[in-house]
A and B are shown apart, each in its own frame.
Chain A
Amino acid sequence: MTPGQAATLGAVVDTIVPADDYPSGTEAGVLDYLAGQFGRDLADLRAYYGAGLDAVEAEARERHGAGFPELPPGRREELLRALESGDTRVPWPFDAAAFVETVVGHVMEGFYGDPGNGGNHDAVSWRMIGFEVGD
């Protein structure tokens, strides 16, 4: 993954799980989860992610003249919602809506999954919702 793609990915993750009183997706370790999965179950999806993130970046430049990570949160959300509904402005190598849906699923795995999978640091999302696990 290029530095540019990594920056876009971080911004996408934090658009899917934004910070509030509780940490955002990246703050809770979703990128650590994804890094682990790109070496494991999602190894075959690395190129898919790269191409999709490039397309998200191109959409941001086409629509707003700025990169996705530079956009204010509201604009980022608006853009991903548009892609989710199939509204694209640049050529995509595959279905944009399916890409968003795929990434959302993986982000939620990293955020709400067990900490043993590398995300959800200190079970922060579980504390947030009230899923308390003893020994």
Chain B
Amino acid sequence: MRGTGLMRVDAVVIGSGAGGGVAAAVLAEAGKHVLVLERGRDLTFEEIGRDHLRNHRLTRYPHRSGPDYEDGPRVVVDATGGEKVVRPHEPGFHGNATLVGGGTRLYGAQAWRFLPADFTMASTYGVPAGSSLADWPIGYDDLEPYYERAEWEIGVCGDHAAGSRHWRRARPYPMSPLPEGLQAAALRRGAAALGWDVLPVPLLINSVPYGGRAACTRCQHCVGFACPADAKNGSHNTVLSRALATGRARLLPEAVAERLECDPSGRVTGVRWVDRSGARHVAEAEVVICAAGAIETARLLQNSPTRREPHGLGNNHDQVGRHLQGHAYAWALGEMDEPVHDGLGPGVSLATLDFVHYNDGVIGGAMLADEFTVLPLAFWARNLPPGLPRWGARNKQYMRDNYRRVMRVGGPVQEIPNPEARTRLDPQVRDRWGIPVARLSGATHPESLRTGDFIAGRAREWLLASGARRAWAARAPLTLHAGQHQSGTCRMGDDERTSVVDRWGRVHGHDNLYVADASVHVTNGGVNPVLTVMALAFRTAERLCADW
């Protein structure tokens, strides 16, 4: 098909990550012919490797698992208006893994449902000045059946009883949690002393064989790496496989969506895309679903102007690309009396949801949990106490004495969105295919950092109660937080003046253009967002098929 220049399908899905994979499966199983365009490569476990210098957890040199250095930079504008060109592996790029499966190929796979109050942030807390805090047009109950589908069809291990205070649910998790190790044991003691409620972290990881694949081998290269046992459940080995198994779906890796094609009336008719050689192709489609991530989805819509929508599709009210958010992580580190590193991955194990909402004097909050197994170099870079020399005999001795003792507890602080945190097209800089790159600007709202301070304080308290002989924390910077949890750039709403898509993920003013990634998140929760991306994609794709 390559080089023929034109294909015709029922639907084009742009992106093969959490949202795109689900959408492709639902559509293909409903009898639709689907083309999935993935800008990244189709990489093997060996190609992704276990490189401690080039992975999505610790990035010191260009990625092995995309985005490729040569693909092009982004432009970041700081608070003073200064511009910087950043490459994909450099801080400020705010990227995510770019390969078949997207972030789900490499993620840590925390499988949280948003809490009911996550959908009603504005009515729960009011709207701080300068923010665009808003309620979702849908609530937890609308999404609950789709959370269940994600948990069962992709595969989650967890303890539904321990979470029953937080979520109404119809079915338990399909798998029980992984066994707990030393970190969880210490944190359970600390939580008991403080009177806090804890639960095992739900994971999109097989604790037992599931879906025809093996159980987790507890290796220590989970987040940032591909799974050696194929026990981590992502788009690539669940929904994407299902889509391809129908015979009605095609996946094209190394295929970059450049522009959505429209007819003279402004109706979407397909997607213009570029292959690795730079040759242009057009895929004509009845329906187009954007699932390229919050920055790339916005970039694609903005790069598709028509006479009716001169600033890009869905962008007549200047909403596309605004409200960009991710999570402003708050952390504390504790040096424990006893070793807590037991060499069993994934490492993250025990959480509390006691501080996600209803904290005195701050807006929202965060889930708190321990950290994934820390690579030695990452420990050196991020986990050493303040005041310790960065090198020399004392540094080496500290690494030796405390690598197994220092434990990190933290969580994804629900950001307070604001319209000035945004992505636009850069007027000058182009990527390797000649497409304008994303130009990022703005920062999180100061309220997010106030919440972060509160959360870091709770993390420190938990560590001290769990046996830390000392604990320390650092403040999240007043900067843009997008990255792997990027969201919000095509927010969902009933009013087209203040949102980009309707409550079903359809772009306002279009009958055949959808967004099925975290771009649609009005707010991003105080937990990891991927299960919500999957649930929304199930809901959007199911509704689309029902009407089609």
Contacts and interface: CB of A to CB of B under 8 A. Distances in A.
A47 interface: no
A34 to B, nearest CB: 13
A32 interface: no
Interface string A110-135: 00111011000000011011111110
Contacts of B49: 116
A17 B399 CA distance: 11
A18 B400 CA distance: 13
Contacts of B375: 131
Interface stretch (B114-122, B389-397, B441-449): B389-397
Interface stretch (B50-58, B272-280, B288-296, B457-465): B50-58
Contacts of A132: 343
A107 B53 CA distance: 12
Interface range on chain A (Cβ under 8 Å from partner): 20 to 34
Contacts of B341: 130-131
8 contacts: A17-B391, A17-B396, A22-B396, A108-B380, A109-B377, A116-B51, A128-B400, A129-B376
A104 B390 CA distance: 8
Contact of A20 (B339, B379, B380, B397): B397
Contact of B391 (A16, A41, A134): A16
- Of B52, B390, B396, chain A has the most CB atoms within 10 Å of the CB of B396
Interface string A94-108: 000000010011011
A114 B51 contact: yes
B400 A129 contact: yes
Contacts of B390: 101, 104
Contacts of B381: 108
A94 B341 CA distance: 41
Contacts of B399: 112, 125, 128-129
Contacts of A22: 396, 400
A18 B403 contact: no
A131 B392 contact: no
B220 interface: yes
Given A117-B52, A129-B403, A109 B220 contact: no
Nearest to B228: A135
B430 interface: no
A26 interface: no
B219 interface: yes
A8 interface: no
A117 to B, nearest CB: 6
B392 A125 contact: no
Q: Is the interface of A mostly helix, strand, loop or mixed?
A: helix
Given A109-B53, A117-B51, A18 B392 contact: yes
Given A108-B380, A129-B403, A20 B52 contact: no
Contact of A108 (B61, B220, B377, B404): B377
Interface in B236-254: none
A124 B55 CA distance: 21
Contacts of A117: 51-53
B400 A15 contact: no
Interface string B385-412: 0000011110011011001100000000
Contacts of A114: 50-53
Nearest to A16: B391
Nearest to A40: B61
Nearest to B374: A131
Given A109-B53, A113-B52, A131-B220, A16 B392 contact: yes
Contacts of A17: 391, 396
Nearest to A42: B61
Contacts of A113: 52-53, 377
Nearest to A18: B393
A22 B396 CA distance: 9
Q: Which 5 A-B pairs have the closest CB atoms?
A: A129-B403, A112-B376, A112-B377, A114-B52, A16-B391
